[in-house]
Structure 1
Amino acid sequence: MDTRTEFLVIRHNKEKEKSTNTVRVAALALVRCQVLTYGAPGERFDASVLESPDTWLLFPDTQPPEPQAPPPKRLIVLDGNWGQARRMVQRLPALRKMPGLALPPPPPNTRRLRRPPNPDGMSTLEAMAGAVALLEGEELARQLYALHELMIDRVMESRGRLG
């Protein structure tokens, strides 16, 4: 899928091997999606990749953009559990300076691979689909939501819990 918005995913090192990590699917599905690793032992994260004009952060506790601001050209997405994502925001000052995009909570009956720590939590792929819905329309977002559902089915099937 080709979107107007470029996605830069900062994935916590501990997420990359998890079978429930949805960013792998997002990176395969989206033409304009790059995934970088954060927090790998012995590797320093180059925060200069965050410095680009018209970049927003997809995160619930961010400063809203200026009224009448044009939509972002690039969206930074944090991939990790809630604690890992919060620590990334704390440790990468450039993230705290960005305008933010916050999403509405998911419907209460949303299927999950992992139980979020709060009812408004969602997977990274769901969050990216929600951002696409807000920035580029529901039709494009539906394709990402469908991929999320397919991934849930496949992971559950591999665990012997479906089909």
Structure 2
Amino acid sequence: MSSPVPPRPRCLRCNLPLHLCLCAEIPRVETRTRFLILQHVVEIPKKSNTGRVAALALANARLLTYGAPAEPLDTALLSEPGTWLLYPDGPTAPPDAPAPSQLVVLDASWSQARRMTQRLHALRTLPRLVLPPPAPGTLKLREPTHPSGMSTLDAIARAVAVLEGPEAAAPLERLAALRVQRIAECGTLN
């Protein structure tokens, strides 16, 4: 009987195994839109988590934890004027509405994100930025469980493209593609 293979050491900043570390490749992306990334506590230790990487890349982002008993969430941040929610369904903003000044992004599985929107009243009332489903052939690590599913980093890159133009989103798109490529070449997240 063979002994289990110990996990590879991980980068403390990007949370990937050291041989896949993206820290040297993380761009600094300036946006007019402020991104409030609401990360479910269960996502924090996952090597597959991209919310942390997105927060490192965005100069105008804040990463908050949802569901940690010792860290109560300040829900007033979700009610600031001009705040929208990046989510695939729900009340969209009127076509003539000004662009959001703050976009809340849920960094969670689909079932966790659905529960977060049910439990946080402020999220239920926000206008939604709805992205179209990813194009066929888009690089991804696994098949999403939702038709509009994509990683948090991919979703933020697409939201930046919609709100601020493709040039602003290009560094995030390159980072997302590089992440998928490195992991796919290695064949594992261990």
TM-score when scaled to structure 2? 0.79
In structure 2, distance between residues paired with 1:13 and 1:156: 26
Task: Give the corresponding residue for 2:77.
Answer: 49
1:21 aligns with 2:49: yes
Q: CA deviation at 1:119?
A: 3.3
Return the letter of the residue paired with 2:89. Answer: D
In structure 1, distance between residues paired with 2:142 and 2:46: 11
Give the CA RMSD over aligned residues: 1.6
Cα deviations by residue, 1:112-163 (Å, 9 ceiling, x for unpaired): 22331133211111111111111100111121111001111233345459xx
Following superposition, which runs of at least 4 residues in structure 1 exceed 2 angstroms of deviation? 41-46, 153-161
In structure 2, distance between residues paired with 1:9 and 1:71: 18
The count of aligned residue pairs is: 161
The answer to whether the Cα contact below 8 Å between 2:65 and 2:71 also exists between their aligned partners in 1 is no
Return the letter of the residue paired with 2:93. Answer: P
The answer to whether the Cα contact below 8 Å between 2:78 and 2:122 also exists between their aligned partners in 1 is yes
Measured at CA, do residues 66 and 119 of structure 1 come closer, stay the same or move farther in structure 2, by a change above 3 Å? closer
SS of the residue 1:77 aligns to: strand
In structure 2, distance between residues paired with 1:128 and 1:137: 12
In structure 1, distance between residues paired with 2:79 and 2:102: 11
Identity of aligned residues (%): 53
Unaligned runs of 5+ in 1: none
The answer to whether the Cα contact below 8 Å between 1:20 and 1:155 also exists between their aligned partners in 2 is no
Unaligned runs of 5+ in 2: 1-28
1:3 aligns with 2:50: no
Q: Once structures 1 and 2 are overlaid, which stretch shifts more, 32-41 or 148-157?
A: 148-157
Task: Give the corresponding residue for 1:133.
Answer: 161
Larger radius of gyration: 2
